[in-house]
Structure 1
């Protein structure tokens, strides 16, 4: 059993990885298992294949996903940190539901940039029964996501975003209503910056220099012109068009220094409320920003109306 981590109280991975249970469910993981200096079971997180196999075991053991795989070169996300976002979103929705987490298929979540791994819909549907719509601009990512859905017989809606400049336009239709939108945006402003960040991560892992991207990642997953601030600013601007169709808009913010400019952007937008939610994960803290155009009474009515 690994050392406890500072994850959300409902996160199934807060006690670390139970390798006995994981290997029992996914015997192929045994080949990647190593011991750390304390004699605890772990894997080599520099090995992309090991991380992929660990994810496969975690998704099968904890989230009832029998088949999971991603094409070579796509982002291989760390499951515990990703699912934390889901749990904090559940807490956010509970605030508008008499502190009770709304569960079930009638709760609609929109995952912007769902990726080849489909990690948020897979874990969120398993934990809370929500219905997810995943969007992406990358046809290869959606092909992978569709395969995961088809093999596991999952009811997850997938939509291709044809226009890269659009985030909500073209995927939210007039009849749609979402309780929450979520996004893990590209955080670098250029490919050069992405490569620099990758070299730093590899050095921290004791790997030295490498041209490989840490845990993979396509260009659209890692960077966009203007980086994270510009992407989220565009998201805020476009969200106004769907103010009555979405209860909460949210996005991860990878860099703490980006919070102040984003606060200014949201301060100028005509939102009813915005907040920054911090998520402590191990030795680092991540966070997401959330905003809504609805007053408190409207939020409660929105949840009750869509439950009916």
Structure 2
């Protein structure tokens, strides 16, 4: 297990938010800024509109996204932590590429549950030039993601997953190959548990009871039957069918206690190798697991191909 104490070295947000620069690019952000107790400029992170405007400013300033917005009620992800996943995936690929991070559209990434925000394809394409295929079961999320692509003239492939029980089936085509798959799975096992999680979060923020999360989220984004373990277990089961079409399968894991049962599931699947990579943002620690069925280095996968 690789343990980290701060954001990835290549993460553009490792020094915090430069509000002067952000407001220069997105003047609308200034209306949402406040001063913290030591006089520093920040925003109220319990205000969903402020968080959305901050995301818009970050995506424009750091990733060249001129238009970004999501419908009310959809998950509004914190950019710095999400980008860390991208950077550590780049390191994972470098391990199979003579320690050189591969860049360019010949690197193919499948984003399961891409969401209305399209945060991984937007940041990953900007940072490394990879080609992303974003998949979601929610029609509204796909519509929002498509609008973001159209307004910014981005070549990101989007697909709707029609069957809730499927993850890779019906998405990966017979002649397709991906270097990476990635996923931020729903982590609660029921709507009741999702609501309890909301209450705990707001209590920790000192805000009493609320039915809202400061980062939002619809049911399909927050919970599924069996929760995170069941979702990832289904992902592992279906990954066997596509073992020859994907180099690395990966997924975020929100709860550290879930690693042990997931490790047993991966061993039963007889994967060739699996890793756990821990990431940190301030006091919060997140992690992802990665598994592969390939027993040898695949340098040839990273060779740039001539355009068709």
TM-score range (shorter-chain normalised) is: over 0.9
- Total equivalences in the alignment: 302
Aligned to 1:202: 202
Runs of 5+ consecutive residues of structure 2 not aligned to the other structure = none
Q: 1:143-182 to 2 correspondence within 5 Å?
A: 143-182=143-182
**1:37, distance to aligned residue in structure 2 (A):** 1.0
* 1:131–1:170 Cα change, 3 Å: same
SS in 1 for 2:125: helix
Which residue matches 1:184? 184
What SS is found at the alignment partner of 2:301? helix
Instruction: Measure how far apart 1:195 and its partner are.
Output: 0.5
Q: How far does the alpha carbon of each residue in 1:57-113 deviate from its partner, in whole angstroms, 9 at most, with x for none?
A: 000000000000000000000000000000000000000000000000110000000
**1:208: how far off?**
1.2
Distance 1:29 1:301 in 2: 45
- Assess if the C-alpha contact under 8 Å between 2:233 and 2:262 holds in 1: yes
Normalised by the length of structure 1, the TM-score is 0.96
Q: Which runs of 5+ in 1 are unaligned?
A: none
Are the equivalent residues in 2 in contact too, given 1:236–1:266 (CA < 8 A)?
Answer: yes
Which deviations, in whole Å up to 9, do the C-alpha atoms of 1:186-207 show, x marking residues without a partner? 0000000000001111111221
Counterpart of 1:123? 123
Question: Matched residues in 1 for 2:39 and 2:6: separation?
Answer: 21
Kept in 2: contact 1:195–1:213 (CA 8 A)? no
Distance across 2 between alignment mates of 1:80 and 1:302: 29
Find the counterpart in structure 1 of residue 214 from structure 2. Answer: 214
Distance in 2 of aligned mates of 1:137 and 1:171? 11
Q: Give the corresponding residue for 1:56.
A: 56
Question: Paired residue for 1:302?
Answer: 301
Question: Aligned equivalents of 2:26 and 2:275: distance in 1?
Answer: 40
Distance 1:251 1:8 in 2: 18
The structure, 1 or 2, with the larger RCO (C-alpha pairs under 8 Å, 6+ apart) is 2
Q: Which moved more, 1:198-207 or 1:229-238?
A: 198-207
Name the Cα RMSD after superposition.
1.1
How far the C-alpha of 1:307 sits from its partner, in A, is 4.4
Q: Is the 8 A contact 1:107 1:307 kept in 2?
A: no
TM-score (norm 2): 0.96
